[in-house]
Structure 1
Amino acid sequence: MSKDSDIDFREPRLEDAPKIFELVKDSPPLDVNSEYLYILICHHFSKSSVVALDGSKVVGMIAGYLPPQKQDTLFIWQVVADKNYRKMGLAQKMAKNILSREYCDDVKYIEATVTPSNIPSRKFFESLAEETNGSFSINPLFTKEHFSSSHEPEDLIKIGPIQIRLEVTTSR
């Protein structure tokens, strides 16, 4: 594992999809989606997503998109960090990378859904709200009845309006 300063951030590329898929599989309790979905993230949503790289190793990823009916909102769909890179602020740096892009110039809000038991994700979003000086709210969105399996409910997290634009270097 390299020092934190050796981590590069960039838009995901098609060749990253298999590595992202494996990273998510190795990161329970995250929902593992089809490999095809990660290909689509790298192809269709690269401007609103990011990978963190230690050399050629994908050590983190945020999948995000701008919902068609809310172009001022970045919806963060999935956040993952390699177990050896957690508690280093990696998720925060990845989010900053996305928000600093020209593509997200009009973004005033951040949304995500999180299960009640996912305390680390909730803390990440609370911290992101503080850093952007945006208000933080959490409300029920998808109940157990919306899912066919024993999936937990998903609460909607909303941050914003963002008061502070985050500036970072996109890569070295």
Structure 2
Amino acid sequence: MTDSAEIQFRTPTVTDGPAMWQMAVDSATLDVNSPYAYLLWCRDFAATSVIAEVNGAPAGFVTGYLRPQQPQTLMVWQVAVNAGHRGVGLAGRMLDHLATALHTDGLTHLETSITPDNDASRRLFAAFARRWDAALHCSELFGAGLFPDSHLAEDLFRIGPLRVENCR
């Protein structure tokens, strides 16, 4: 991606579901859901998700939802960026865009879960916390023993409180 690339952030629609599924597959790190799940996500959780388009083509996405028992908390489910657009801060810009948009509706915290071996995601969310001048708390969310396969444990990253005026 070059500096002259036109980046747009927008709410996903169901027609984005196949591209999101493909980005998840191509990431080689995400747990890939069924194509149907991405269509449902784009229908039911579009307002808490974002698509980044570069020169009119999908380049990345963030999916998330507001926690039912803590509606001021956005749980980020997946972050994906196409290989050709990695390393230039697009994932962080998508997170900032989404958090800024939801902040006006009362968002105060962001959560995500990350496996211990996913250094890129750990750096992404640590940088997000720094940009938002927010505390980051890490604790075990789901131990490896809860998964019926060889899935690693998932650590919960809780970031907040978020104050849009502090995001730089």
Please state which band the TM-score falls in when normalised by the shorter chain: over 0.9
Query: 2:80 is aligned with what amino acid?
Result: V
1:71 partner SS: strand
TM-score, structure 1 as length reference = 0.91
For residues 40 and 140 of structure 1, the distance between their equivalents in structure 2, rounded to whole angstroms, comes to 28
Higher relative contact order (Cα pairs below 8 Å, separated by 6+ residues) = 1
Count of residue pairs the alignment pairs up? 168
For residues 166 and 18 of structure 1, the distance between their equivalents in structure 2, rounded to whole angstroms, comes to 36
- 2:136 is matched with which residue? 136
Question: Per the alignment, do residues 124 and 102 of structure 1 end up closer, same or farther by CA in structure 2, a change over 3 Å counting?
Answer: closer
Query: 1:18 is aligned with what amino acid?
Result: P
CA contact (8 A) 1:48 1:63 kept: yes
CA contact (8 A) 2:51 2:60 kept: yes
For residues 104 and 14 of structure 1, the distance between their equivalents in structure 2, rounded to whole angstroms, comes to 25
- Higher percent of residues as strand: 2
For residues 39 and 64 of structure 1, the distance between their equivalents in structure 2, rounded to whole angstroms, comes to 14
CA contact (8 A) 2:53 2:59 kept: yes
1:16-39 Cα shifts (integer Å, max 9, x gaps):
000111111111121110111111
- The equivalences for 1:38-49 within 5 A come to 38-49=38-49
Moved over 2 A (4+): 1-5, 102-105, 163-167
- 1:152 is matched with which residue? 152
TM-score, structure 2 as length reference = 0.93
CA contact (8 A) 1:48 1:104 kept: no
Structure 1 regions of 5+ residues with no counterpart?
Answer: 168-172
Aligned-residue offset at 1:8: 0.9
1:68-100 Cα shifts (integer Å, max 9, x gaps):
111110110100001111111101110111122
User: Which is further off, 3-12 or 27-36?
Assistant: 3-12
1:22-75 Cα shifts (integer Å, max 9, x gaps):
111111121110111111111111111000112332110000110111111011
Question: Per the alignment, do residues 102 and 127 of structure 1 end up closer, same or farther by CA in structure 2, a change over 3 Å counting?
Answer: closer
For residues 30 and 51 of structure 1, the distance between their equivalents in structure 2, rounded to whole angstroms, comes to 17
Q: Over aligned residue pairs, what C-alpha RMSD do you find?
A: 1.8
% identity of equivalent residues: 35
